[in-house]
Structure 1
Amino acid sequence: MKIWTKAAKARRTAACAAVAFSLVATGASPALADPAPKPQQSEPAKPKADKNKPAPAATSKKSAPAKPAPAATVTKTFWYSAHRVAVWVHSPAMNTDIQVQILLARDWFSNPSAKFPQLTMLDGLRAQDDQSGWMINTNIEQFYSDKNVNVILPVGGESSFYTNWKEPDRGKNYQWETFLIHELPSILEKDWRSTDVRGIEGLSMGGSAAMMLAARNPGFYKFAASFSGILQLSSYGMPQAIQFALRDGGGYDSMKMFGPPSDPAWKEHDPYVLAKKLRGTSLYISSGNGVVGPYDKPSDIPMLATNYSGVGLEVLSRVTSQQFAARLNKLGIPGQAVYRPSGTHTWPYWQFEMTQAWPQAAGALGLGNDKVACKVGGAFVKAPQVKDLGGCLTPEYAVPGGRAQDFRNGRIFTGPKGPKVVGGAIGGAYVSAFDRLGLPTSDEKTGRDGVKYNTFERGKITWTPQGGAKVE
């Protein structure tokens, strides 16, 4: 009976995948008809001028200048580590605080006058309100630790497609395009030493949104990547498929996003329709094909993974990605298309694509020749802690009162009691408390009560699983 249940599920999934495939396949050459012309209206007859009536005095009315949109503001900041910070930004458009996490560039501390390009990473349909899926499901923090780019991780946006919705839904007034394009950039550039050289990439819903945002704002992003994105939104059957996905991904209504399928907003946000606006942007497109791959668990049906929903979704991604790439090719717009010979709609493949896309992203962001170039500095070459720090990321550099150097597993500082290492959450709390605390006088220690701590010239920082890091 158990085998029959699995087989039934498998057949259902295969059927769904086939339906998804056929829906999109019928749109292989989507009917991209121009909107119907507006009916012509005859002009009303102009009254004949009365020669005996004086002409009205000319009046000039100056319209009041439009008020500038209110600026976004930072309401809270929290340091997870020395190179990972969370910033809560109040969005006037959404009238709420949006958490944005930033993985700071490698040379953030060693080169305090430098500014860095930025790479925004968008989440999938089931984006959580507390953490980015990239942080939860991949090694993104470790991967970018040796790269000179500020990685921007917007948190939240479940089922939003990171776009501006026509109406609020489920208590959320999604205005993500306004936030990402108009509200957030000034904060990243003013407060977090980001340049206006930007890239954007995302998985699934985030991949669709990356291409959509890049196309709707030509030139804003130098690089855009879609990992298993759905890259047709308005062709036959797709609005209905998106509606099903939004219902399943949190109970949202696509009518409140773009209106009914006949609404022009669907085409106005469709990467396929907007493809010509991507000329000049470095593009990366990838997907699997739904067949069981190295990161999937095989089912009892040959070539079919147990990740049933992931099978159909990846088939849909493959077909729309291929059609999108074909559209680019027809328009003479270059792009890198990577079609894996297997794989379903799941995180290990997106981590793989993140690493595969980096050389192209680096080139577009001006980091093609950027490499780690360092050796253990003279102040630390004899420090026994260095062997556990995982290799240097920066040269030795000056800090108030001493010297420091960044390694993969923490930062090491000179101090009154010799070189000491500060890392993890304690290292994050130390960033904003440096002036108050001075240089470290101990490595991380564990007290009898299990509390971890570092001591400094003028105090200490403790850490517990319940309360996190606290400056004392």
Structure 2
Amino acid sequence: MERIEHRACFGGWQDVYRHESKVLGCAMNFAVYLPPQAEKERLPVLYWLSGLTCTEQNFITKAGAQRYAAEHGILLVVPDTSPRGDEVADAEGYDLGKGAGFYLNATQEPWARHYRMYDYIVEELPALVEANFPATAARAISGHSMGGHGALTIALKNPGRYRSVSAFSPIVAPTQVPWGEKAFTAYLGEDRASWKAWDATELVKSAPEKLPLLIDQGEGDEFLASQLRPQLLQAAAEAAGHPLQLRLRPGYDHSYYFIASFIGEHVAHHARALRGA
């Protein structure tokens, strides 16, 4: 690993590292916020997954989460949203290819070689973090939009691996909305039955662990009706008896202004699960 950024922040350090990912077959950046408590003890980790077009930079520069991570004594780990590099397949538009990995394992060419963000988030990155930073194996996961989709599906697919999960404006039913249909057709092929393994609304119907889901959704979100449709997950969770708290926020849109407004509540939610505080 190579540390490429190192900035003092709320008594701790906001760092960015670059490493060669064996899973993705390319160099990857990820951000780590080390709160002041990290100098004296090992801390639980909150993983944040960002949305379409983002890198590791968006969350660490716009959300203001470091303040709350320092308050609660939690490491923040923020990966990039897709593989990067000249050899990595890409496409025109913002919603497929680089910046749009959708946190799944692609099976179709030319994507399958590099687009394995699910394995990267679930296995490779935590192993790297827990081996090189003062991190415990207590994990939580959260994200926004495409990253909210990633957080929900990853938590639902891995019972016992995460203490808590939350999301802002998540794509809860990618098999039923244009963003997901475009990406899944490219990454996974035409067999729509195979898509269900990457759809939170489908996964919640038979999830072996009833990990409570916390979702904040702005009612002024320009993508609410066309791409997000949280009522689909809400109905599936109610039918399955899966705990879900869906908080609709009047006036808020899809931006980081929305995330910054409520990220403190989400960090506190995860802190209660991770530290009992």
TM range (shorter): 0.7 to 0.9
2:254 alignment partner, SS class: coil
Aligned-partner residue type, residue 139 of structure 2? R
Q: 1:242 aligns with which of 180, 197, 202?
A: 180
In structure 1, the residue matched to 2:90 is none
Aligned equivalents of 1:143, 1:359: Cα separation in 2: 8
CA deviation string 1:163-209 (max 9, x = no partner): 11123558972111111111122221121021111111111110011
Aligned-partner residue type, residue 124 of structure 1? G
% of aligned pairs identical? Answer: 21
Aligned equivalents of 1:88, 1:367: Cα separation in 2: 32
2:37 alignment partner, SS class: coil
Query: Alpha carbons of 1:339 and 1:317: their partners in 2 closer, same or farther (altered >3 Å)?
Result: farther
Aligned-partner residue type, residue 140 of structure 2? G
1:264 counterpart = 2:264: no
Aligned equivalents of 1:149, 1:317: Cα separation in 2: 32
In structure 1, the residue matched to 2:47 is 120
1:147 counterpart = 2:72: yes
In structure 2, the residue matched to 1:220 is 161
Pairing 1:268-287 to 2, within 5 Å after superposition: 268-275=197-204, 276-277=206-207, 279-287=209-217
Aligned-partner residue type, residue 167 of structure 2? S
Aligned-partner residue type, residue 346 of structure 1? S
Unaligned runs of 5+ in 2: 83-98
1:353 counterpart = 2:256: no
2:103 alignment partner, SS class: coil
Contact 1:282–1:364 (Cα < 8 Å) also in 2: no
Shift of 1:122: 0.9
Shift of 1:359: 2.5
Shift of 1:234: 2.2
In structure 1, the residue matched to 2:57 is 132
The structure with more helix, counted as a fraction of residues: 2
1:104 counterpart = 2:13: no
Pairing 1:376-391 to 2, within 5 Å after superposition: none
Query: Alpha carbons of 1:142 and 1:333: their partners in 2 closer, same or farther (altered >3 Å)?
Result: same
CA deviation string 1:3-44 (max 9, x = no partner): xxxxxxxxxxxxxxxxxxxxxxxxxxxxxxxxxxxxxxxxxx
Query: Alpha carbons of 1:143 and 1:317: their partners in 2 closer, same or farther (altered >3 Å)?
Result: farther
Aligned equivalents of 2:131, 2:179: Cα separation in 1: 41
Aligned equivalents of 1:99, 1:241: Cα separation in 2: 25
In structure 1, the residue matched to 2:89 is none
Contact 1:228–1:345 (Cα < 8 Å) also in 2: yes
Shift of 1:243: 4.4
Contact 2:163–2:273 (Cα < 8 Å) also in 1: yes
CA deviation string 1:268-312 (max 9, x = no partner): 11101101326342321121223xxxxxxxxxxxxxxxxxxx52x
Q: Which has the higher contact order (CA 8 A, sep 6+)?
A: 2
TM superposition score normalised by structure 1: 0.51
Root-mean-square deviation (CA), in Å? 2.2
1:80 counterpart = 2:6: yes
Moved more, 207-216 or 170-179: 170-179
Unaligned runs of 5+ in 1: 1-73, 245-252, 291-309, 369-472
Shift of 1:149: 0.6
Give the 4+ runs in structure 1 shifted more than 4 A: 168-172
Aligned equivalents of 1:281, 1:195: Cα separation in 2: 20
1:190 counterpart = 2:128: no
Aligned equivalents of 1:161, 1:362: Cα separation in 2: 26
Contact 1:163–1:176 (Cα < 8 Å) also in 2: yes
In structure 1, the residue matched to 2:20 is 90
Aligned-partner residue type, residue 54 of structure 2? A
Aligned equivalents of 1:348, 1:233: Cα separation in 2: 24
Aligned equivalents of 2:14, 2:145: Cα separation in 1: 24
Greater Rg over alpha carbons, structure: 1
Aligned-partner residue type, residue 140 of structure 1? A
Aligned equivalents of 1:203, 1:140: Cα separation in 2: 13
